[in-house]
Structure 1
């Protein structure tokens, strides 16, 4: 459990200092603001794929294909993608931004965890179980194709590498910055802006470490946010310690690491949004919790971990995260802008 807290703290620190936001990665594509952050997501997937399949080959972890609940994944993906744009942050983003003092993110996090708990353990469980009756037995791409997973690993890394090199060769504007107040390592950690690709590499390595460390507690999985968040609510409402597992300590560590990063860099402060933003945060949080539970994971569990396993669930969920995110972006940002209205509050 200590390993989960430490790894989560490292992840939270990296996400906070790297200003890593999945929502902006998706939105930037739709708004024509570049694909740098989107490429960064695939760096995490590519790096992680090499690491976890190497660990699997060496026998340190065991990766087994599972059934693919296609209807649940599609519906959940759209709902989650829509919800994260409305909330202004994905599941992981709400954890680390809440620890920076953003009241809107705290509200979104509460409703996300609560609705995930309701869907996984409460009133929405029958519906969730029904949706999961629509399934296929082949859960992984390489399983269906009858090929070695390493063909997919190598292919993905070559494609991602191509886009990384192409992006790095683009000319970039130099931005004037304030004179550094710190020197050396402190400047790099707490003042200097991190390149998204560097942040992505760090997150990828952390995601790899999650597998062997969590296996020590009997949990055969990587990074995960939704189920631990739901389990935390279950523990707080029932007092049943069976819900306190490696994953719960991981998400608590994310909050701790983000708080330390924000505090030491002078970025921590409580920020209270207006009523409209709070409404967006509440609704978006609810949609994220329900959607992630239906889909079997959020933009971390599905979008970064399952994709590196080359499971259908991961790639299909990611596709429909994009669909949901586009719908929300169109109606909340693009359409109001076209009619001269200011889409206030969506960040």
Structure 2
């Protein structure tokens, strides 16, 4: 049963690689280019997963408890995680699938991410992590706080997302002429054609639903998750304890293999060595990702996709502060240097 994680991860890695589903770029583009399409795609995946998972819960497939909210840890951790993904060049899941494409910078970011995530779970940073998470709000469930049924919240989310999708798809699109297709039929669709982000989001939402019963069947009451499984890999390599090998570990390994297969079949796989500056940024970003996701209790998938769909404060607060961290880092990494260059050029011509 534990090997179903490999299958689920393989599907996720394949879809994310072919659909170029990058939340780092999506959050960054919201700030820099005023392009919200990837964020809208994330909302679609959240809405689909929410409907599917709460249907499973209503059918008695499994039970879910939102628990309490470690609010300070979520806010600080998510903000730091948002900064980290800009420097790393990808979020946790994006880093796994881009590693499958042969991007060495993503391997470097993964090393930093796994290292600090493991330190937060069972290493020298565990006391700090525990202390910060002790500051809690009793209820993590939005429905419980507001005195509503979860299905009311889900209905509102679906209605809002449906309206956004309707308005977005009504806008005229500029068709960019591409190269003449080299493949035909299914091969063209799977390995050559550019996927619409909304189609990719629908597939990710369905995979996220599938992850719950497959994971629950192994005793892991959770859906998609990246940070703890990534830490578990390093913990296993260091200690040799088989208890660290679980459904989640096979999930993240599956993401890598699924992306590798997709990149190979689409001709997008190649080893790319980063320069020194990119290497330093990638590792630093990975360290911040591991610290932030460990403290917040999840990354852009665990909190931003899954816990939002479960209608928890943790998920939506985390998503907001991840985006804020991304925009803050984008200002210092992209906007401010451009302003300085522009001011320098103007001074030189004055």
| Unaligned 5+ runs, structure 2 | 343-350
| Comparing 27-36 and 66-75, the one that deviates more | 27-36
Displaced runs of 4+ in structure 1, greater than 4 A? none
Q: Please name the residue that 1:98 is paired with.
A: 99
Distance 1:221 1:134 in 2: 23
Distance 1:274 1:32 in 2: 26
Q: Which SS does the other structure have where 1:313 is aligned?
A: helix
| Unaligned 5+ runs, structure 1 | 342-347
Q: How does 1:1-347 map to 2 (within 5 A)?
A: 1-340=2-341
* Partner deviation per Cα, 1:150-190 (whole Å, 9 max, x = no partner): 00000000001111111111111111111111100000000
Q: Which SS does the other structure have where 2:341 is aligned?
A: coil
CA RMSD of superposed structures (Å):
0.8
Distance 1:191 1:133 in 2: 49
Q: TM-score, normalised by structure 2?
A: 0.96
C-alpha deviation, 1:120, in angstroms: 1.2
Distance 1:195 1:135 in 2: 40
Q: Which SS does the other structure have where 1:340 is aligned?
A: helix
Q: Please name the residue that 2:348 is paired with.
A: none
Distance 1:338 1:192 in 2: 37
C-alpha deviation, 1:65, in angstroms: 2.1
C-alpha deviation, 1:23, in angstroms: 0.4
Q: Which SS does the other structure have where 1:339 is aligned?
A: helix
Matched pairs, number: 341
* Partner deviation per Cα, 1:60-81 (whole Å, 9 max, x = no partner): 1211121100000011011100
Distance 2:88 2:6 in 1: 26
* Partner deviation per Cα, 1:2-52 (whole Å, 9 max, x = no partner): 211011101000000001100011011101341111100100110011000
